[in-house]
Amino acid sequence: MAADPGVKPSAVPDGRWSRLIRLGSLAGGVAGNMLAEGARQFAQGKRPKIQQLLLTPGNARRVADQLAQLRGAAMKLGQLLSMDAGELLPPELAEILSRLRADATPMPMSQVVKALEANWGPGWDRHFERFSFTPMAAASIGQVHFGQRKDGRHIAVKIQYPGIRRSIDSDVDNVASLLRLSGLLPKSLDIKPLLAEAKKQLHDEADYRREGACMIQFASLLTDAGDFVVPEMHADLTTDTILAMTRLDGVALETLSHLPQAERDQIAGQLFRLLFREIFEFRLIQTDPNFANYRYAPESKRLILLDFGATRAYSTAMIDSYRHLMNSAIADDRVGMNTAAEAIGYFQHNIREHQRQAVLDIFALACEPLRHVGAYDFGSSDLATRIRDAGMVLGMDRDFWHTPPADALFLHRKLGGLYLLAAKLKARVKLGDIARSGGLIACP
């Protein structure tokens, strides 16, 4: 995501104790705000509830700002909770956490230099003709800088925030405890699976050599797809915590609403074709739906793919179950949908029949664009709202709450992210035709 020039850089706390102190300070600040707000309301003759005191705008800002300052696991946990459990959270907390999908505070130049020296040694600038210390993007794990090598090649350098890797497990546990103890998370919400997944994903994303290998693998898989471009990794400058790659310039997708309808339709169609290939051909999915992971080159009409840290491999059995689920949903075959959903891991043994049917209803809604004859108009559709509302109704049934396998959560997140992007572009996409051409649906 692009770094906000108006955001003042701040050093990333890289020690266990300094990060714990930040979280303790956050808890103290929240408590102080509660006392002050409570006293103010009592003076006005009101008797506020604890939850009302917790979820004030001041406390909302404190939580979001401190998690963004800590970056890393603290920020990622907020992102995961906002996207995976948003329907089950108080609206105020959901809004706080949603900010963490966009806000990141860059680290100062002194910390950037220290990180470069730690990875490339003293005199690291010998590799460069020019190097910009102003980050072009900042996210939860690291920030991106541009440079030009001595041989003239322009590159992008992703630098991991210091201390992120060794703080992952403790950060996730500490932030979860803080949110739970403060009452900002409902007691009935079981977030243990999300915590385990947050740790695993963070460890994967913090391994930049792994991300580089995934980037190379995607480039190889897409050699036959001329409408996509993947950066080339500069192996001699890449380490566990620095990823150096070809700089590829393009336009942010969310800014393309001015393009002709046909061009916006083409862009969305390209992304859905890619997703179906990732699922059913590669069984390797870049699961992060962040819009900033894509750029568009208007001259060549090619899509630039960025950030492969959240790449996940899927088993043949899982993919076969999803093929069965989607085909059954398209055919309105509830028995087939139920069989596939059970195989994926959606149903506990004690699930009630009305809960089972509610889950199948949501799957049927999600497959609406696939069933639609002709181009599905994402821009005028209220599909996202209907899915959200159905999820909220199900989420209110506390006896139901069950977290499906992480692979399922991440696949749904990616599909939902593309639906939102298609809506942002006001795209019209013949999704059924794309699925048929990709072999998802059996041709009649």
Given a contact cutoff of 8 angstroms between Cβ atoms, the answer to whether 97 and 82 are in contact is: yes
Q: Which of 316, 326, 278, 321 is nearest to 442 (CA)?
A: 326
426: left (phi over 0), alpha (psi -120 to 50) or beta: left
Q: Which of 218, 206, 200, 238 is nearest to 80 (CA)?
A: 200
Task: Write down the residue that tokens 């960025």 correspond to.
Answer: 306
- Report DSSP state, residue 281: I
Each as own residue / partner, the long-range contacts of residues 323-330 (CB below 8 Å, 24 or more positions apart, any chain) are 323/280, 323/440, 325/363, 326/367, 326/370, 326/435, 326/440, 326/441, 327/440, 327/441, 327/442, 329/363, 329/364, 329/366, 329/367, 329/370, 329/371, 330/367, 330/370, 330/371, 330/432, 330/441
Q: Which residues pair with 413 in a beta bridge?
A: none
Q: In what order do the strands lie in the sheet with 294-297?
A: 228-229, 302-305, 294-297, 251-252
Of 103, 171, 207, 288, the active-site residue reads 288
Distance CA 115, CA 160 (A): 8
Answer yes or no: 397 catalytic. Answer: no
Output the DSSP codes for 334-398.
HHHHHHHHHHHT---TT--HHHHHHHHHHHHHHTHHHHSSS-EETTT--HHHHHHHHHHHHHH-T
Two tokens at 209?
A: 């050599």
Q: Supply angle C-alpha 71, 81, 30, rounded to 5.
A: 65
Output the DSSP codes for 37-75.
HHHHHHHTT----HHHHHT-HHHHHHHHHHHHHH-HHHH
Cβ neighbours around 166 below 10 Å, total: 13
Q: Spell out the residues 6+ positions from residue 57 whose beta carbon is closer than 8 angstroms to its own.
A: none
Q: Which residues pair with 178 in a beta bridge?
A: none
What is the set of active-site residues? 288
